[in-house]
Each structure stands twice: as C-alpha cells, then as structure tokens.
C-alpha cells in the first residue's frame, strides 16, 4: 500500500507552487523597500523557548506543539510560530548591541501546529512575517501596519479589514484580568474544562474560547477599554491618529485579544472575505510585545511584528482571480532530439541556451516528432529545436518558430545569435541585456 502525506499537510505543486513563489517574492521586495532584512532561524528549537515565549496559557503551547525528545533526550519543538525563535536569534547573536535600532527582520518558512484540519487551517503551513525590535514607539507599531497594508495593496487585495485593539500596559492588563476573574467566577461551573485552566493561568484566554455556550457568557464580560491606564490610552490614541494621518482604514475591535501570551499594547489582525463569500480566518495578525525579549533572557527591549499565513493569502488570491500576473512561467525553447545519437548534442544545446538565459526544456522520451511538438505547445514554447542524425553529422540544428511554423537550419556556432534575433533580442551594444553572445 502506498504511503500518504501526514494528516493536515499538503503537497504544493505546479501553479500553486508558482503562486507561492510569486507571493513570497513580492512580500520580500516590499519588506526590503521598508529596510527589513531576511533572517532564517532553524525550524526546530528547544521546547522551553515556546513555553516561555508564547506562554503556558496559550492553546498553541498547551495543545498544538509538535514536541519530541531527540536521541539525546532533549525536548525539541517544531516551531509553531516564528516570533519566539526570532527573539532567541536576536538575543543569542547580540543583535541589539548596536545604535542602529530597531533591528528589523523578515522571515518566511513552514510552521507546525497540531490543530483540527479544516478550511484554511493546516498542521503545516507557511508564515511570512516581520519583527522590529528595540524601539517602543507608537510610530514603529504604525510602520508595521503600513508595511502589511502596502503588501495587501500590492497583492490587489482590496477591502481588507484591519482590526485593531490595545491590550494596554502591565497595569491595565492586571486590573483587567482581576475584573475578568471576578466576572467569570460566577459562570465557571457552566464553562468548558479548558476555560477552567484558562481561568487559573490567564483569564484573557477565555475571551478566545470557541465553545458557543461559553461565547455567550464572554459577550457580557468586562471590556479592556474600561481598564486602560492613561498612558495606555494615550499610546493607543497616538497609534490611531498616525493611521488616520496616513489614511489607513481600520476598525477598533475591543474583543480582539490574540491567542499568544506575549502581546501588550497594540494588537491587530487582517481579515478578508473572498468574493464567493469564503472566509479562511485571519490572513495575518500581529502586535506589540514589551516583555518577550527580557522573558527569554535578553535585555529590556520592546518589539512589534506580524505574520501572514501564506496559504490563506494564496487561497483568497486564487478565489478572486488575482494571480494571473504571477503565474506565467512558460518554457521559451523546447529541444527535441530524434533518436539516441542526437541526445548528447541536445543536452549540449540546452545547456548553451540556458547559459544565455533562455528558459529551456528538452524531451527525454523516445516519442514521435508530432508528439514532441504537442509537448512543446503545451509547455508554451516559442521555439522548438529539432536535432536528428543529419543535424548531428552537419553540426547544426533546425529552429522552428512555433507561432509562424517557419523553420530554419542553423549552424551550431550561430545558435545563440539566431535565437536572439528570432526572439527580437537584437544586440544594441555595450551593457545591453540581450542574450546575444557578442554582447
């Protein structure tokens, strides 16, 4: 019996893989425009990093981590998110010991969570995100939102809803947690077992409970906004007024608390519903964190960042037909050897064309010429190069223009020059970008 993929994972093939590349490349370009540089942390970290960083009360740590003992009996976890790992990378490599703060980084890669697989929810998925660490200002929070907004605009995703809220400073949150405990105490015996431990560990997490009966109780719970200190209120108002100045649309959502424990002050999420009405959940989310770096053994430094779910970005772009621009990747030239004798020369010709920058494929199977032409067509080739025994003997090839069907014989030494001309890549002298050898 064949072995299938692991539940909750999937294969990304063909057009979908092209689309992922298109999305990730576009996101990288925009991050670089905002002066963020790429970092590549390992996929696995010591489990303690996530327990301390993401927090013991979060569902991610309590239920969703892929954790195992390695052969040295160390507890290892496949990253369930990037932020804690990026903080570890920053601390370990002493990247905050500089005047050039904030340290600004972007990242992309697979993330693992043992969740119930459903629409837009996988056990392995791809996140693309940024972190800016070492600055505590409202302006840097806003820069990350502007960056995310620019990305969504560049992907032509209109009507994205940006939800924003504040979790306040320590003082605000402590007061709020006390009020939540008082409120939920009355209902605890009607609530799910998870909410019992949330009540003990972090009552804020109860606000995220997905059990419908519990959600009804949550509706009547006290609101964060009524417990904000003056400082927290002022900071949040500053963030909102900066967003107004930049004409970034947002909706203040005072029920937004985020599911990871490290957040303080500004938190935000990006939501989008496909034109056919499908909602895959948040396409991205993030926020500010005051204590995470210190919690992980680093200096006192605040940070802010967000992650997009690339799988969800792909789904909404596909649903709304917004992917055409990134998908065309046709072969330019298809090399067709006729018989064993022609194969070595075909490999040589393909190699030469590739060195000159032509996207080239060749036929490896012994099929009839007509069949090879069909393959060339399916691959979108502009030219076919036919090599038979005669061509090998005469050290030449036949070049066929697939559109006009005109074909010419071409000596090997004139191959690139002829193809360049046929393609309209005339050499225009020094510094020209054409494929011509004389260039």
* CA dihedral for 316, 319, 325, 331, sign (positive or negative): positive
379 binds ligand HAM (CB under 6 A): no
Furthest-apart CA atoms within the chain: distance in Å: 93
| Helix (H) or strand (E) run with residue 239 in it | helix 230-245
Matching residue, tokens 């002298």:
429
Matching residue, tokens 């926020």:
287
Residue among 20, 22, 36, 82 that touches ligand HAM (CB under 6 A): 82
Which residue stretch of 75-83, 207-215, 315-323, 335-343 sits at the interface with ligand HAM (rule: CB under 6 A)? 75-83
Question: Is 127 or 420 the residue whose CB approaches ligand HAM more closely?
Answer: 127
103 binds ligand HAM (CB under 6 A): no
Give phi and psi for 106, each to the nearest 5. Answer: -120, 160
Interface of this chain with ligand HAM, residues 299 to 318, rule: CB under 6 A: 305-307, 309, 311-312
115 binds ligand HAM (CB under 6 A): yes
> How many residues interact with ligand HAM (rule CB under 6 A)?
25
Residue 401 has a CB neighbour count (10 Å cut-off) of 14
CA distance 95 to 416: 48
Cβ 164 to ligand HAM, closest distance in Å? 13
Q: Are the CB atoms for 131 and 81 separated by under 8 Å?
A: no
Q: Are the CB atoms for 155 and 325 separated by under 8 Å?
A: no
Q: Are the CB atoms for 134 and 19 separated by under 8 Å?
A: no
83 binds ligand HAM (CB under 6 A): yes
Residue among 22, 36, 112, 125 that touches ligand HAM (CB under 6 A): 125
Matching residue, tokens 């009524």:
226
Question: Is 81 or 396 the residue whose CB approaches ligand HAM more closely?
Answer: 81
Residue among 88, 113, 163, 271 that touches ligand HAM (CB under 6 A): 113
202 binds ligand HAM (CB under 6 A): no
Residue number of the CB atom closest to ligand HAM: 309
Question: Is 113 or 400 the residue whose CB approaches ligand HAM more closely?
Answer: 113
421 binds ligand HAM (CB under 6 A): no
284 binds ligand HAM (CB under 6 A): yes
Q: Are the CB atoms for 419 and 353 separated by under 8 Å?
A: yes
Question: Is 115 or 295 the residue whose CB approaches ligand HAM more closely?
Answer: 115
CA distance 295 to 300: 9
Which residue stretch of 70-78, 231-239, 284-292, 354-362 sits at the interface with ligand HAM (rule: CB under 6 A)? 284-292
50 binds ligand HAM (CB under 6 A): no
CA distance 122 to 105: 25
Residue among 59, 81, 214, 290 that touches ligand HAM (CB under 6 A): 81
Pairing of strands 303-309, 124-133: antiparallel
User: Which residues lie near ligand HAM (CB under 6 A)?
Assistant: 81-83, 113, 115, 120-122, 125, 127, 129, 131, 260, 282-287, 305-307, 309, 311-312
């Amino acid at each position: 019996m064949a072995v299938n993929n692991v539940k909750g994972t999937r294969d990304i093939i063909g057009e979908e893989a092209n689309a992922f590349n298109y999305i990730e490349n576009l996101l990288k370009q925009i991050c670089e425009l905002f002066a963020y540089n790429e970092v590549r942390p390992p996929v696995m970290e010591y489990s303690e990093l996530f327990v301390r960083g993401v927090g013991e009360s979060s569902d991610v740590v309590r239920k969703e981590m892929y954790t195992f003992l390695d052969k040295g009996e160390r507890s290892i976890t496949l990253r369930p998110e990037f932020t804690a790992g990026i903080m570890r990378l920053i601390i370990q490599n002493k990247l905050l010991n500089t005047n050039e703060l904030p340290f600004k980084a972007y990242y992309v890669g697979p993330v693992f969570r043992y969740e119930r697989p459903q629409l837009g929810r996988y056990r392995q998925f791809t996140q693309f995100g940024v972190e800016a660490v070492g600055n505590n200002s409202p302006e840097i929070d806003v820069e990350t939102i502007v960056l995310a907004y620019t990305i969504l605009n560049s992907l032509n995703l209109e009507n994205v809803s940006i939800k924003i809220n504040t979790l306040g400073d320590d003082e605000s949150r402590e007061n709020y947690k006390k009020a939540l405990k008082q409120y939920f105490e009355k209902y605890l015996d009607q609530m799910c077992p998870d909410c019992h431990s949330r009540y003990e560990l972090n009552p804020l997490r109860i606000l995220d409970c997905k059990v419908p009966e519990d959600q009804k109780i949550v509706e009547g719970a006290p609101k964060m906004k009524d417990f904000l200190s003056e400082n927290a209120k002022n900071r949040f108002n500053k963030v909102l007024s900066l967003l107004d100045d930049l004409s970034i649309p947002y909706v203040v959502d005072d029920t937004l608390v985020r599911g990871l424990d490290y957040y303080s002050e500004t938190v935000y999420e990006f939501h989008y519903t496909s034109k056919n009405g499908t909602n895959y959940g948040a396409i991205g989310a993030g926020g500010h964190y005051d204590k995470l770096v210190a919690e992980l053994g680093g200096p006192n430094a605040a940070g802010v960042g967000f992650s997009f779910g690339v799988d969800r970005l792909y789904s909404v772009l596909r649903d709304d037909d917004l992917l055409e621009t990134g998908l065309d990747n046709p072969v330019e030239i298809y090399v067709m050897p006729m018989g064993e004798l022609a194969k070595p020369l075909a490999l040589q010709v393909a190699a030469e064309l590739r060195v000159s920058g032509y996207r080239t494929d060749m036929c490896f199977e012994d099929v009839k010429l007509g069949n090879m032409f069909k393959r060339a067509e399916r691959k979108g080739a502009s030219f076919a190069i036919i090599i038979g025994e005669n061509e090998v003997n005469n050290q030449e090839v036949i070049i066929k223009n697939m559109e006009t069907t005109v074909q010419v014989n071409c000596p090997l030494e004139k191959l690139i020059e002829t193809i360049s001309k046929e393609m309209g890549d005339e050499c225009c002298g020094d510094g020209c970008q054409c494929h011509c050898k004389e260039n």
